[in-house]
Amino acid sequence: MRSHGAALLGRSKVAPVSRNNAGLSTDRIIVEALRIIDGQGLRRLTMRRLGDAMEVEAMAVYHHFPLGKEQLFEAIAEYVTDVHRARTAEEEADAALGEEDGAGQGGADTGAEDAADERTWDERLRSWAQDYRAALLKHSGALPLLINRRPDTEAAVRSLELQYAAFSEAGLEGQDVVNAAAALESYVTGAVVHEVRAGGLESPHPARLDGRFPTVTGLRHTALDHEQAFTEGLERLLKGLVPGG
């Protein structure tokens, strides 16, 4: 995002608008690709359309992603799952609004990068889970992309550190810490997949309900509030994962 803004600034104020140097950058390409994915769906993201969106020849993208579309996909997956970036961007936006608005939300930890997190282990896990869910939901069209190999980025390790540290503080050790973190991440990812799969449809079973499915029929009109169900399930999982739960 930073380089995106800088590039735009550089083009409009300093350099003459020549046919080269159209102000591309990996970040800008990713952001533009996500705009297409969010608006039209993953299948409509093509190199040519991506080029068009940036008013550039499609082949220009290959200069920033020499390995082609697969590499672009990987970068998108990393971008989407980078909770820290998403959270920081959000806070900056809030702060910008706050300058007009005057009062913050009583925030004590505003701005301090990598400040010691004084919250309890369970609060840290809760908010990591909520943030990660929000990040995935924000670009749910890119969800199929993050099924490939796990990025070994700093962002990924940062999330893992947070989880390991929290579960350790909760009293777990060794294998239990690793397993608990895997279970938590599995739950959050799966919940987003579940929610996206459910799509917009309210009543999940329009037809097909005969006598063989009495319990489903009985609960047919029990709506599923995804946000509430997620939070509830998260509490249950955490309760099951820690010894004194």
Partner DNA sequence: ACCTGAACACCGTTCAAGT
Which positions lie near DNA, rule CB under 7 A? 18-24, 44-49, 51, 56-60, 62-64, 68-70
Contact with a copy of itself (CB under 8 A): which of 197, 202, 211, 227? Answer: 197
In whole angstroms, how close is the CB of 133 to a copy of itself at the nearest point? 11
Q: Is residue 78 classed exposed, middle or buried when 0-12, 13-18 and 19+ CB atoms within 10 A define those classes?
A: buried
In whole angstroms, how close is the CB of 148 to DNA at the nearest point? 14
Cβ atoms of residues 113 and 158 within 8 Å: no
Whichever of 101 and 154 has its CB closer to a copy of itself, that residue is 154
In whole angstroms, how close is the CB of 77 to DNA at the nearest point? 16
CA distance 238 to 240: 5
And the tokens for 244?
A: 């004194």
Whichever of 71 and 189 has its CB closer to DNA, that residue is 71
Assess 175 for contact with a copy of itself (CB under 8 A).
yes
Whichever of 39 and 245 has its CB closer to a copy of itself, that residue is 245
Interaction partner, residue 177 (DNA, a copy of itself, none; CB < 5-8 Å by kind):
a copy of itself
In whole angstroms, how close is the CB of 151 to a copy of itself at the nearest point? 9
Q: Mark 226-245 with x for binding to a copy of itself (rule: CB under 8 A) and - for no binding.
A: --xx--xx-xxxxxxx---x
Interaction partner, residue 53 (a copy of itself, DNA, none; CB < 5-8 Å by kind):
none
Contact with a copy of itself (CB under 8 A): which of 16, 199, 211, 244? Answer: 199
And the tokens for 74?
A: 């990987």
Handedness of CA 83, 156, 120, 245 (dihedral sign): positive
Those residues with Cβ within 8 angstroms of residue 133's Cβ, 6 or more apart along the chain or in another chain? 188, 191, 192, 230
In whole angstroms, how close is the CB of 123 to DNA at the nearest point? 43
In whole angstroms, how close is the CB of 21 to DNA at the nearest point? 4
Number of residues that bind a copy of itself (CB under 8 A): 65
Cα 61 vs. chain centroid, distance in angstroms? 24
And the tokens for 245?
A: 């739960």
Residue pointed to by tokens 């690709």? 33
CA distance 145 to 80: 10
Residues forming contacts to a copy of itself in the complex (CB under 8 A) are: 114, 143-144, 146-150, 152-154, 157-158, 160-161, 164-165, 168, 174-175, 177-180, 182-183, 185-191, 193-194, 196-199, 204-209, 212-216, 219, 222, 224, 228-229, 232-233, 235-241, 245
